Structure 1
Amino acid sequence: MAAPVTRVPLARLPALPAASTPEQRYWGKFKSHLLIQEYGAIKSINFSPVSPHDFAVTASTLVKVYSSKTRAVSKTISRFQAPAQSGSFRSDGRLLIAGDEGGLIQVFDVGSRVVIKTWDEHKGNTVNVTRFSPTNVTQALSASDDKTVRLWDLTSPNSTHKFIGNQDYVRAASFVPGSPHSVVSGGYDRTVRLWDSRSAGDHLSMEFNVPAPVDALLVLPGGTTVLASSGPTVYVWDIIAARRVAVLHNHQKSVTSLALSTGPRQGGRRVLTGALDRHVKVYDPATWKVVHGVKYPAPILAIGISHDEKHLAVGMANGLLSVRTRSSGKEKEKAKEKERVLDMIAAGIDPITGMGGPKSKTSARRRRTRGMDYKGEGADMVVEQETKKKKERPWEHCLRKGNYGDALDLALTSNQPHITVFTVLGELRYRNAINAALAGRDENTLRPILRWLIKHLPDPQYVSTIVEVSLSILDLYSHDLGKSPEFDKLMRRLHLRVKQEVENAKQSSLIVGMLDMLLAGSASD
């Protein structure tokens, strides 16, 4: 009795490395992308520390508060006579402080938008930074083009401390977490200064120099690590050791904004940088290496990420506000459940009882057919089920009949020629029939084979098969070189492709050797 004919399975190539890392897949979840056009360049974005983490966007003479639930404007603060600067929330989310280019600082009640405090000591100089203290709800700071950094108290009409010593505009300032009396500042005099309000005199306690003006500062939780953007470079200092621990050179233009991601995620916190080169880059503070990056349509001036790490907002120089929202697992489950309910309704099935639909049985029908679906116990009854035979593919039929040349030609014209041809060639190698499939051909029937070889030669998974087929073609048709311009052209292309791959392999070997030497040298040090 003849053995049954089985289909030839398509070849399965080895699995390649994953196209994306877990970090890239995580940040790729920020998919719900919303673009909003504001009236002017977006100068700052600040998320409220308390749920639901609404965010303030400062642009032109307005500070707009966006709802994190609807991503629409919930409140607009317009009490500014000059362009506004650096609107930011207090730690309880109830107050918002902002400065303007006229030197005025105002504190607003977020709920009613009423001005509850104003200060005007900067006297016509742009107030670049305003921040509430993370620990003292009545304390705030400001940094201005008048070269000063000042501390304020809501109970006082005047500044409580004035830090003098900067030689140029102060463009960045921040409280130091864990140290309520310390403030760090940076500006166009190319210095980063650490101030202590308890010390006498000028209050300066530490100073770092950088090669370019400072546009942004970030102090990591714990208060021992300070990041400062100086041109396209970000410098990282350890305050306790008073030394620089890292230099980040991953941007091509000035870094304008720094943000910290501390939400509930695997792998710990991340540092985000935005620059005029239109890129946002994500760093791992453990290694200070870039783990992800996103490109935007315009130069970036401000970035912010919510404390629950659900919203990523980016402000650009042309007034575009980009808001990306990450979908959580619970929201995905709700979407799937909603889709399932809609499918049941479309099929005429009650989502609650599960009754109805074209395939449901009435009670009378269930009584009549009771027991008819009994299949018996598996140990006592064996039912042979006739399986539907899948149709044989044309090239499989030719292989079974021994028409190897026709099988190869049909594979070249199939829906998946790249893997089908590889499968057929593998079968021909197994049957020692490659020469039989290639013999007796002219330039028209050799052309698709040579083109397939040229196209897939760079793929290392195909190399051994392509080499064997190419050598067979040379053995069979080398005496025909010079007779057909088309055949000669394809053979020259194949020859050039082989030379190119050999050269690439040599260069790769040289690079591997150099890397081995560098790694050996670093290990010895």
Structure 2
Amino acid sequence: MSHQVQPLQPVKLPTLPAATTPEQKFWRSFKSNLLINEYSSVTNINFSPIAPHDFAITSSTRVQIFSSKTRSVTKTISRFKDVAYSGNIRSDGKLLVAGDATGLIQIFDLNTRAILRTWKKHDRPVQVTKFSPTSLTRVLSASDDSSVRLWDLPTGEVTSTFLGHNDYVRTASFLPSSNSEIVLSGGYDGTVRIWDPRTYNSTKSSVLKFEHDEPVEDVLGLPGGTTVLVASGNKVYVWDLIAARLLTSLRNHQKTVTSLAISTVSDDRLNARRVLAGGLDGHVKIFDTQEWKVVHGIKYPSPIISLNVSPEEKHLAVGMAGGLLSIRTRVAGKDKIKEKKATTLFNLIDQNLPDVKPRKHTQGVTAKLRGLKYQGEEEDIIVYDDAKARMKKVKKAKEWEKMLRQSRFADALDSLLKVGQKEVTAGANPVEVITLLTALRHRSALRTALSNRDEEGLLPVVTWVTKYISNPRFVELLVEVALLILDMYSMAIAQSPRFESAIGKLTDKVKREVDKSKQACMVKGMVGMLLAINE
């Protein structure tokens, strides 16, 4: 009884790292990049906490309200005497607070743009104004006069004044926790202070103080109220409030980190909290909050001054020096399904695919199916002895496979590389060539396949090896082939200018790869030393 000869199975190559990770796919889904030129640097971006999550852009002497649906300006508030700062929308989406360079704080009705309150207690620029996330009547302000204040909206009075910073206070926020009374502030004196208005008085300093070597540009409290991030210099410091100690410092930026934001990534494969950091180097780095490693990065054309992510993770807005505003929008939910359907439809139209109709059985096939022995209900596969059917299922062997079975090793290699034709070696399937070379090595026939070759028969082999020897999955086998060629034909190199040129290209390619490996080892060593020093 004869057995059908099965075709040679392609060699299984090591799996390369995925081209894109789920994390990268999520952040790259923020597409439709809209670039808007403002009059001056975009100093603050704030999204409304309630749907549809319109957002306020503060730049120059005005605050603009953008629609979350159309990404266009719906309102412009320009009733400022000087440069405006920190336009912030209240949690109910009805009011907006902003400060300016004269020290003035104003409360606006977003519907009518009317001024509801005006405060002038600060005598220097007020660069931070925020509503409490839990109280509709509490407002926070911080100024270049080194003070931090809490305001009561109905009475218009200052309820707390925190003094302790020795330089400009450029960042402040409420600590996100069940108790919204706690205030964070950071100043150009390099300190971050934690204030509790219930226990503070003029003779008592802040509850906690963290010191840094450089001015503090931004502070961000993580949900839960136990971890605080501080942007100071080109680093982001992670502080544990419970233990009052530094957990880690993130040193991934080359220039000053100016803005921090938080996002809760919700995707099919991801459900985690992420921190975004933007700096004057034009990079936005995205960190996971478990191991504090960079999971993605985005490069922008100008130094970044401000950034924010919408609560429903639809928009990523970045403000840059020079007035450039970038709004990236992510397609998700029903919109994503619509886009996918539209893309599929366009692909079908482009490919001009005909309609697929169910094929009916011919009478002969129907009769054959009726004659099969019943094997049981809900069977998926019916096995019957049909030699002709088995023969049809066997894949037809290729020409080089037939030659390999006939021990015509050199002919098999020549057939696969199409030796004798010009400019065809690049078209050879690399997996098939590697499969053949692996089979030849297992049969100890590599030398036989490469022996007794003239210039025309050897050059395609050398050219193919030169092209693919830098592939990490092929390198081990191709180095063996290259060494075998040099061992067998080293005496003929000087006799053929074409062969000498081909060997020269192979040598240059190998030298470049060796240099890259050396540089990679040097960089790895330097990074290891830096990490050891920092620890």
TM-score, normalised to structure 1, is 0.82
1:132 Cα deviation after fit: 0.4
Q: Secondary structure at the match of 2:285?
A: strand
Deviates more, 1:301-310 or 1:153-162: 153-162
Correspondence 1:241-260 to 2 at 5 A: 241-260=243-262
Q: Is the 2:163–2:202 contact (alpha carbons within 8 Å) kept by the matching residues of 1?
A: no
Alignment partners' CA distance in 2, 1:445 and 1:340: 47
Give the aligned partner of residue 420 of structure 2: none
| Matched residue type, 2:172 | A
Q: Which deviations, in whole Å up to 9, do the C-alpha atoms of 1:100-125 show, x marking residues without a partner? A: 122221111222222211212224x2
Distance 2:227 2:393 in 1: 69
User: How far, CA to CA, are the matches of 2:265 and 2:508 in structure 1?
Assistant: 53
Check conservation: 1:196, 1:203, Cα contact below 8 A.
no
Structure 2 counterpart of 1:456, from 443, 468, 478: 468
**Deviation of residue 319 (structure 1)?**
2.0
Aligned counterpart, 1:309: 313
State the partner residue of 2:55: 55
- Note the C-alpha offset of 1:447: 2.6
Structure 2 partner of 1:74: 74
CA displacement at 1:175 relative to structure 2: 1.5
Structure 1 CA distance for aligned equivalents of residues 342 and 53 of structure 2: 27
One of 447, 472, 479 as aligned partner of 1:435: 447
Aligned counterpart for 2:297 among listed residues 293, 299, 303: 293
What is the aligned partner in structure 1 of residue 162 from structure 2? Answer: 163
1:6 shift after superposition? 6.3
Distance in 2 between residues matched to 1:425 and 1:358, nearest whole Å: 42
Q: CA deviation at 1:77?
A: 1.8
Q: Deviations over 1:409-461 (max 9, x none)?
A: 44332524433432332343355543343233233432332233234334343
CA distance in 2, matches of 1:20, 1:343: 23
Cα 1:376–1:111 shift into 2, 3 Å: farther
Partner of 1:277: 281
Structure 2 unaligned spans of 5+ = 375-381, 418-423
Pairing 1:408–2:413 present: yes
Aligned residue among 222, 225, 229 for 1:223: 225
Match of 2:209 in 1: 207
- Picking from 421, 427, 445, the partner of 2:433 is 421
**Higher alpha-carbon deviation: 30-39 or 504-513:** 504-513
**Distance (whole Å) between structure 2 residues aligned to residue 111 and residue 94 of structure 1:** 7
- 8 Å CA contact 2:6–2:394 kept in 1: the answer is no
- The residue type paired with residue 236 of structure 1 is V
Amino acid in structure 2 at the alignment position of 1:137: L
SS in 1 for 2:171: strand
- Tell me, what secondary structure is at the counterpart of 2:254? coil
Matched residues in 1 for 2:33 and 2:436: separation? Answer: 46
> What CA deviation, in whole Å up to 9, does each residue of 1:232-255 have, x standing for no partner?
112222223222222111111001
Relative to structure 1, the CA distance from residue 339 to residue 15 in structure 2 (aligned partners, 3 Å threshold; closer, same or farther) is: closer
- The CA distance in 2 between the partners of 1:517 and 1:147, in whole Å, is 40
Q: For 1:262, what is the secondary structure of its paired residue?
A: strand
> In 2, Cα distance between the equivalents of 1:38 and 1:88?
18
CA RMSD in angstroms, aligned pairs only = 4.1
Distance (whole Å) between structure 1 residues aligned to residue 265 and residue 451 of structure 2: 66
Amino acid at match of 1:328: A
Change (3 A) 1:507 1:432: same
* SS of equivalent residue, structure 1 residue 478: helix
The residue number in structure 1 matching 2:105 is 105
Partner of 2:95: 95
Deviation of residue 301 (structure 1)? 0.7
User: How many percent identity over aligned positions?
Assistant: 49
1:351 aligns to what? none
Q: 1:503 to 1:200 in 2, by over 3 A?
A: closer
Question: What are the ranges of 5 or more consecutive residues in structure 1 without an aligned counterpart?
Answer: 348-356
Question: Mean Cα displacement is larger for which, 211-220 or 482-491?
Answer: 482-491
For 2:291, the aligned partner's letter is T
Q: 1:379 aligns with which of 373, 384, 388?
A: 373
In structure 2, the CA distance between the partners of 1:494 and 1:207, relative to structure 1 (3 Å rule), is same
Match of 1:235 among 234, 237, 246: 237
- The DSSP-based 3-state class of the residue aligned with 1:103 is coil
Distance in 1 separating the partners of 2:191 and 2:307: 23
